[in-house]
Amino acid sequence: MGRVVLVTGVAGDLGRRVAVQLSRSPVVDRVIAVDVLPPRGDLAGADFVRADIRNPVIAKVIVRERIDTVVHASVTATPAAAGGRSSTKELNVIGTMQLLAACQQAPDVRKLVLKSSAAFYGASHRDPAMFTEGMTAKRLAGGGFAKDISEVESYTRGFARRRPDVAVTTLRMANVIGPQITTAMTGYFGLPVVPTVLGHNPRLQLLHEQDALDALEHAVASEVTGTYNVAGDGVLTLGQAVRRLGRPSVPLPGFAVPSFGSAIRQTKVADFSPEAVAYLRHGRGMDTTRMRTMFGFHPRFTTLEAFDDFAASLRQGVLSPERVRSAEAALVGAMRAIDGSRRTEDHVDG
């Protein structure tokens, strides 16, 4: 008999598509897709169960359905998807705690796959050229998604110690991008005018959406355990990415970027969190040697190919007037912040 897999976070694009792909996998017998909201598309052969992983009732679902494999794909970086930052943190951290507690009490569970993020490493001027899996962030996260990821991985390691009979695999994925997925990165590059941080040209490392799905399926089918960086080959600088898009960019002084980010978040055109701002300043790179040699996974798309596939989909679309107006309003707000700062400096000098 094939595996019986529970997939969390299926209201999101990636979670839903993970459930669909696993339902077609030859090593999977059944897929139970869970979330508090229904998915925004077809689940193919997966069965949807409306359940909140923050509620202990998730334990009943795992036991009732005789789940042997759990794919935790609901850890999210986008507050808009969960109703605000406090709700997002609760879903990420409390939800993970409840899910792991349920798995610990479920005798049938034998495999846990965590979709983690490269945000675990943060982004700062002190970073190495490439992070390996044994490294941690050079600057500890004071809050936000980076702290969520750190806590989620910590709870997952604790679970692995308590249930050594369960094979635990953690995938630290680079920013996922592609023509059919909505992420913070696709929202940013989808702006009609792309803001950058003046004086910074960070290195970007990306993962194509299909490679993200394939990596998660590989983790389900494989008996390999441990933590692995997952990203496409090579890097792309932000300047190169903007030029390949063929869209104008606006270099903003560092102090004005938070104002722009706040305005963008309010319009819900794109998520521009403090972590995103740090990433656009400093970039990040991950060493993927273990992914190839130990995990046995080889992405189909390089970073450049992943970006070009996404960029091609943008060129085929038409920007809505609402999206243009929202971006313009955010830029006006940032310019006002710059002007206000200059006026303050002039007043002090005078």
Task: Specify whether the CB–CB gap between 290 and 229 falls below 8 A.
Answer: yes
In a domain, 28, yes or no: yes
- 235 closest CA partner among 199, 189, 285, 308: 285
Give the distance from CA 302 to its chain's centroid: 18
In a domain, 42, yes or no: yes
Task: Give the pLDDT of residue 84.
Answer: 64
Task: Give the pLDDT of residue 13.
Answer: 92
- 131 closest CA partner among 203, 81, 61: 203
- Distance between first and last Cα of the chain: 79
In the chain, the number of structural domains is 1
Task: Give the pLDDT of residue 340.
Answer: 55
- Domain with 126, as residue range(s), is 3-181+204-234+284-302
In a domain, 325, yes or no: no
Task: Give the pLDDT of residue 80.
Answer: 47
Task: Give the pLDDT of residue 49.
Answer: 96
Extract the tokens encoding 270: 């794109």
In a domain, 334, yes or no: no
In a domain, 333, yes or no: no
In a domain, 126, yes or no: yes
Local confidence pLDDT in tens for the 350 residues of the chain: 689 999 999 999 999 999 999 999 999 999 999 999 999 889 999 999 999 999 999 999 999 999 999 999 999 876 544 456 677 888 899 999 999 999 999 999 999 999 999 999 999 999 999 999 999 998 776 678 889 999 999 999 999 999 999 999 999 999 999 999 988 889 889 888 888 889 999 999 999 999 999 999 999 999 999 999 999 999 999 999 999 999 888 898 877 777 776 666 665 666 667 777 888 899 999 999 999 999 999 999 999 999 999 999 987 654 455 555 555 565 565 556 555 555 544 454 55
Extract the tokens encoding 116: 């983690």
Task: Give the pLDDT of residue 116.
Answer: 97
Task: Give the pLDDT of residue 83.
Answer: 57
Task: Give the pLDDT of residue 328.
Answer: 59
CA-atom Rg of the chain in angstroms: 21
CATH number of the domain enclosing 159: 3.40.50.720
Task: Give the pLDDT of residue 90.
Answer: 87
Encode burial over 290-301: b for 16+ CB neighbours within 10 A, e otherwise. Answer: bbeeebebebeb
